[in-house]
Structure 1
Amino acid sequence: MGTRKVARSEVRSYVNDFETKEYLRQYYASVEGDPDEELFTPFHRKQIEFYKKHSSKWDCKTARLLEFSGEERGEIELWKFEKEGAHDWSGHFKFAVNKLENMTGDATTSLNWRDRETLLRQRITEIIGCDICQDYALSRKQDPFNVISTSHTLEVICGTLFEYKAAVKKLVSLLKPGGFLTMFADECQTFYTIGQKKWPCLYITLEQVKEALSDAGMMVVVAEHKEASMEQLQNPTTSDHKAMLFVAAQRVE
């Protein structure tokens, strides 16, 4: 199947039509019991292993979050400052600590899930506007990043493979020489839904992602994918992805 083009008008409607709270409710209400849990869990473990292996090369004491719309940045701020109406991420922190990090999560542990959530709130120093379709992607100038991690993003905001490769190059330009980029993405997906609205996606394969990274001056360190369940393949409802992929790459110095 060829690469599906996404109309630019559809992509830009993220500014006005994207329902952030419904998106969080639909896709991030919980982790346990998620139909794709078996699909994404190995990749999150792989990402943790990757970070542990390379973390001595950078300072992990601060994090800057990049989000497209003001509404999305507002949702993060609600959570960071523990304000009323914030999305409840406790299930994800429990999953990360108890399952991904092989910790019990009991109060007797040195870092339970509540500690982890508090620590992340403290380490987020900035929440920055980011539009990868612009000449300079960020809303204000930033020092280069040691690590950039993106999840299920580029394939839903880029309309063509050409735009996708350009977006990857822009992300890479934000990295320090020797810096790392990690990416989660849905492979061979043409749509996903939020409520009753269907959002288009760029149909892209693992090989095309690797090619885009290579063209941008990155050395691919990890590149893996895992097929969706037979139930998901036969009965696509919220999306029609065929697989999920995880890639980690280093900017050539």
Structure 2
Amino acid sequence: MDSTTHKFYHVHGMDSRSHLDLYFSNKEDMVFAEDTLKFPMAMIHYQLCTGRAEGTFMIDISIGSLIHHLYSVSNSFKKIVILKFQEKCIMELNRWVHDRTGAYDWSHTSSAAAEIEGTRDQLQEKEMRLRSSIMQILKCDFGQENISSPVLLPLANCIISMWILEVISKNEDEYLKNLEKIIKLLKPGGQLLLIAVLDTTYWFAGAERFHCFKCNEEFVKNAFGKLGLSIDYYSVQRRCNVSDIIDYKAMLFIVGRKGE
């Protein structure tokens, strides 16, 4: 593949298992643990354990086939719906949720979650609770006004979105339109917990190079303001690793509250 060619995640799809191995695994050569595993898990846990996000129903709209950021969520929200662009990601997640043969091994993240929460003696219970909290895994389409069409979801108390807006948006206008569609799924007074990768132009999954919309902290904050989200909290973590498979400079965790 020409190194200058960028595929689009939501159009061309990707190898979901390769994506997990490169950025989220427990392999010795996986250098992103501080940024992709520990940072989002710690930030989401902090937000939820302080009682700032409350309710019963949460929607997750994140890249790939990730579950590690949802352990703390299942402590607070009894019902979780996950939206995905690709059937492969849905199949990958269903293997784990139903504890099937060949499911991805996330045991390193349940251990990390237990350490963050101070519940090291409850690893099995933690995984079981998360599995039982995931009610549906649905396909989404941001080309539709209702991105979960034909399913009409109830409005969520909280939405988590990790690394999705920048990989499906070509420019600033698309980013704002896509963010607005996410916010439409949120109840008035509800919170959006967003994790974004900053100053990125490309990333790899396997041998395939993908597009990423380059945005910075100020752009994301301004986007929240333009769409009526008041910022409750944000934190930036500068890149902790060296690798040429992705060119980001920092991770952003930002929490926005929808107006009543």
Fold shared by both chains (TM-score > 0.5) = yes
CA spacing shift, 1:169–1:151, aligned 2, 3 Å: same
| Aligned pairs, number | 234
Provide TM-score, normalisation by structure 2: 0.83
Q: In structure 2, how many angstroms separate the alpha carbons of the residues matched to 1:43 and 1:86?
A: 22
User: Which residue in the other structure is 1:251 paired with?
Assistant: 258
Say yes or no: does 1:38 pair with 2:54.
no
User: Which residue in the other structure is 2:7 paired with?
Assistant: 10
Q: In structure 2, how many angstroms separate the alpha carbons of the residues matched to 1:220 and 1:195?
A: 36
Note the alpha carbon deviations across 1:155-212, whole angstroms, 9 max, x for none.
0111111100111111111000000000111100111111211111000111111111
Alpha-carbon shift at residue 14 of structure 1 (Å): 3.8
Q: Which runs of 5+ in 1 are unaligned?
A: 1-6
Alpha-carbon shift at residue 33 of structure 1 (Å): 7.7
Alpha-carbon shift at residue 28 of structure 1 (Å): 2.2
Q: In structure 2, how many angstroms separate the alpha carbons of the residues matched to 1:17 and 1:69?
A: 7
Larger radius of gyration: 1
Q: Which runs of 5+ in 2 are unaligned?
A: 57-76
Provide TM-score, normalisation by structure 1: 0.85
Matched residue type, 2:18: E
Confirm or deny: 8 A CA contact 1:190 1:200 kept in the other structure. yes
Q: In structure 2, how many angstroms separate the alpha carbons of the residues matched to 1:119 and 1:64?
A: 14
User: Which residue in the other structure is 2:141 paired with?
Assistant: 131
Confirm or deny: 8 A CA contact 2:24 2:32 kept in the other structure. no
Alpha-carbon shift at residue 15 of structure 1 (Å): 4.4
Q: In structure 2, how many angstroms separate the alpha carbons of the residues matched to 1:79 and 1:34?
A: 21
User: Which residue in the other structure is 2:45 paired with?
Assistant: 48
Confirm or deny: 8 A CA contact 1:32 1:95 kept in the other structure. no
Q: How much is the aligned-residue C-alpha RMSD, in angstroms?
A: 2.2
Say yes or no: does 1:63 pair with 2:80.
yes
Q: 3-state SS of the aligned residue for 2:236?
A: strand
Q: In structure 1, how many angstroms separate the alpha carbons of the residues matched to 2:53 and 2:210?
A: 39
User: Which residue in the other structure is 1:101 paired with?
Assistant: 117
Matched residue type, 1:117: E
Confirm or deny: 8 A CA contact 2:95 2:102 kept in the other structure. yes
Q: 2:20 aligns with which of 8, 19, 24?
A: 24
Alignment of 1:165-176 (within 5 A): 165-176=176-187
Q: 3-state SS of the aligned residue for 2:50?
A: helix
Q: In structure 1, how many angstroms separate the alpha carbons of the residues matched to 2:28 and 2:39?
A: 14
Q: In structure 2, how many angstroms separate the alpha carbons of the residues matched to 1:56 and 1:23?
A: 29
Confirm or deny: 8 A CA contact 2:239 2:251 kept in the other structure. yes
Confirm or deny: 8 A CA contact 1:62 1:123 kept in the other structure. yes
Alignment of 1:111-122 (within 5 A): 112-122=122-132
Q: 2:193 aligns with which of 182, 201, 222?
A: 182
Q: In structure 1, how many angstroms separate the alpha carbons of the residues matched to 2:109 and 2:142?
A: 27
User: Which residue in the other structure is 1:3 paired with?
Assistant: none
Note the alpha carbon deviations across 1:45-69, whole angstroms, 9 max, x for none.
2321211223673121111111111
CA spacing shift, 1:238–1:169, aligned 2, 3 Å: same
